[in-house]
């Protein structure tokens, strides 16, 4: 989706950029409620009282009320930015200093051009040796973005970042100050709950069930049969925090025991040859 170079001091690394993620969200068509057919969203000019085709539309920047300056693709190509064809690295920072929860936006893979293989590998090794990430600028589409370059598996990943003035101030929120009266027994029980629910992150354990749930609804409506909805449990009113924590810990422990038992059962069902090979594979991996 973008082709340019990483500007690393006096070194230029020609790269191609690809989206690292894709949306799997469910989309709907807008229908007429009476006939059930898709509706059209027209681009209508109220001044000329006519529909405007996509090829006829123009971009406009509002400089005053009802006063616009038209900007076309050629103008955007000539933006006075050094980052339209290059990722300009500005500095290298400790990744822990970036509040990823609010700053990181999109993810892109960077692939080196053939002539850029060695400097690409050099930058990756430098990031690996220093334990740092690069902060830079890149112009994508019609605006410039702050960005982060970091090691990802055997390559480099670029994340676009929010600009600082895009991050809202938490001072507007009503957040309790200090410990809000949390006692040691409550904290110990909460830590125990965290430890019982702790695991190594494996994204394969977490499935997006939204699409499957929608297909159940669609198939039920096609077959003209009622939709069986699971009964949602009513959230319990917390009147005794310690009692709620204790019950949560016990439930987490029971769940962990059940998971461990299921894993042992699964291993016992494996053929002897496969069961013998698994420990060896684990030893080699470690």
Contact by Cβ (8 Å): 15, 6 = yes
Contact by Cβ (8 Å): 136, 90 = yes
CA distance 221 to 12: 57
Q: Residue 91: which domain range?
A: 2-21+78-165
SS3 state of residue 68: strand
Same domain, 151 and 265: no
Same domain, 122 and 15: yes
Single out the residue in 106, 137, 165 at which a domain terminates. Answer: 165
The pair of structure tokens assigned to 26 is 């469910």
Same domain, 8 and 94: yes
Same domain, 141 and 16: yes
pTM for the model stands at 0.68
**Count of structural domains within the chain:** 2
pLDDT digits (tens, 9 = 90+) for 22-41: 877 777 888 888 888 998 88
Contact by Cβ (8 Å): 4, 87 = yes
Split the chain (286 residues) into runs of 10 and give each run's mean pLDDT. Answer: 84 89 80 88 87 85 85 70 74 94 94 92 94 91 86 95 91 81 83 82 76 77 76 62 79 77 69 51 41
Same domain, 12 and 116: yes
pLDDT for 156:
96
147 lies in some domain:
yes
- State how far the alpha carbon of 117 is from the alpha carbons of 5, 7, 111, in Å: 12, 14, 9
pLDDT digits (tens, 9 = 90+) for 62-84: 888 888 888 877 766 666 655 56
């Amino acid at each position: 989706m973008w082709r340019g170079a990483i500007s690393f001091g006096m070194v230029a690394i020609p790269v191609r950029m690809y989206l690292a993620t894709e949306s799997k969200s469910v989309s709907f068509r807008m229908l007429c409620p009476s006939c059930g057919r898709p509706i059209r969203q027209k681009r209508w000019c109220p001044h000329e009282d006519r529909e405007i085709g996509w090829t006829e539309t123009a971009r406009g920047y509002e400089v005053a009320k009802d006063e616009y300056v038209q900007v076309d693709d050629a103008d955007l190509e000539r933006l006075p930015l050094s980052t339209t064809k290059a990722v300009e690295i500005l500095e290298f920072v400790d990744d822990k200093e970036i509040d990823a929860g609010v700053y990181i936006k999109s993810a892109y893979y960077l692939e080196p051009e053939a002539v850029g293989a060695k400097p690409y590998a050099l930058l990756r090794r430098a990031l690996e040796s220093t334990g740092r990430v690069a902060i830079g600028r890149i112009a994508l589409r019609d605006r410039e973005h702050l960005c982060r370059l970091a090691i990802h598996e055997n390559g480099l990943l670029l994340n676009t970042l929010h600009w600082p003035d895009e991050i809202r101030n938490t001072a507007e929120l009503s957040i309790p100050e200090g410990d809000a009266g949390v006692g040691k027994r409550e904290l110990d029980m909460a830590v125990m709950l965290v430890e019982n629910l702790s695991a190594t992150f494996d994204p394969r354990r977490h499935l997006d069930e939204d699409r499957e749930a929608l297909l159940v609804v669609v198939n039920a409506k096609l077959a003209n049969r009622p939709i069986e909805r699971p009964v949602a449990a009513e959230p319990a009113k917390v009147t005794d925090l310690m009692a709620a924590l204790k019950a949560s810990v016990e439930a987490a422990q029971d769940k962990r025991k059940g998971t461990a038992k299921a894993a042992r059962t699964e291993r016992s069902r494996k053929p002897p040859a496969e069961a013998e090979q698994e420990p060896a594979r684990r030893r080699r991996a470690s």
